[in-house]
A = this chain, B = another copy of it.
């Protein structure tokens, strides 16, 4: 996709057009929002199937079952589409954690299981695809970095709220980093052929034991 900056200053045409426009509150043109969602979804699917580099506007349009012209009507350029997809992925990650936090039982190892399940979903693959691309793409990085920081902060806050007994423990940050590193590292290694799938289960159980041993006396 390459995220190229628009050369000329477009005459400010076709602004993002928030679903519920200023004065016309309800419109059948709320269907536009649905189409936009369809395009964003197609973008994420393309990220997973083709990788960031090969996620081109024609491919996304085809994946969404639309013409490229129609697609450009909803997103003025490829950058806008990627931005929207990133925002969508980010919110999806946050929502998933909120859901997990709303569950009644809060076992220490629930976080591990929940996050691991998260990492199996396409959203994580797409996000990693973007994160890797951002390493050599300053524009992409400027979009992604703040969101990554926000996610880390909310992740920690969520965990702190779920397990108040950890509050103030010097082991808290370590346990968080350990969990994230191991789980995300495994997810990536699985995708890129770096590790054998048979090792996943033992690793999960070991991590759970680790966390328990790091926990302060309840």
- A positions within 8 Å CB-CB of B: 2, 49-54, 128-129, 131-137, 141, 144-145, 148, 152, 173-174, 177-178, 180-182, 184-186, 188-189, 191-196, 199, 202-203, 206, 210
| B180 adjacent to A181 (CB under 8 Å) | no
B136/A192 in contact, CB under 8 A: no
The answer to whether A136 and B188 touch (CB under 8 A), given A177-B203, A178-B203, is no
| A195–chain B nearest beta-carbon distance, Å | 6
A11 to chain B, nearest CB (A): 31
Contact: B148 with A194, CB < 8 Å?
A: yes
Assuming the contacts A173-B199, A185-B181, asked whether A144 and B193 have C-beta atoms less than 8 A apart, the reply is yes
Q: Please give me the residue from chain B that is nearest to A151 by CB atom.
A: B194
B178 and A181: CB pair below 8 A? Answer: no
Supply 7 A–B pairs (Cβ within 8 Å), ascending by A: A2-B54, A51-B133, A131-B192, A132-B192, A174-B199, A174-B202, A174-B206
Closest to A170 in B: B202
A132 touches B132 (CB 8 A): yes
Which B-chain residue is minimally distant from A53 (CB atoms)? Answer: B53
In the complex, A93 Cα to B186 Cα: how many Å? 21
* A5 CB to nearest B CB, Å: 15
Contact (Cβ within 8 A) A194 B131: yes
In the bound complex, how far is the Cα of B50 from the Cα of A214, in angstroms? Answer: 40
Q: Chain B residues near A135 (CB, 8 Å)?
A: 51, 191-192
**By the criterion CB–CB under 8 Å, are A180 and B195 in contact?**
yes
Cα A42 to Cα B135 with chains together (Å): 19
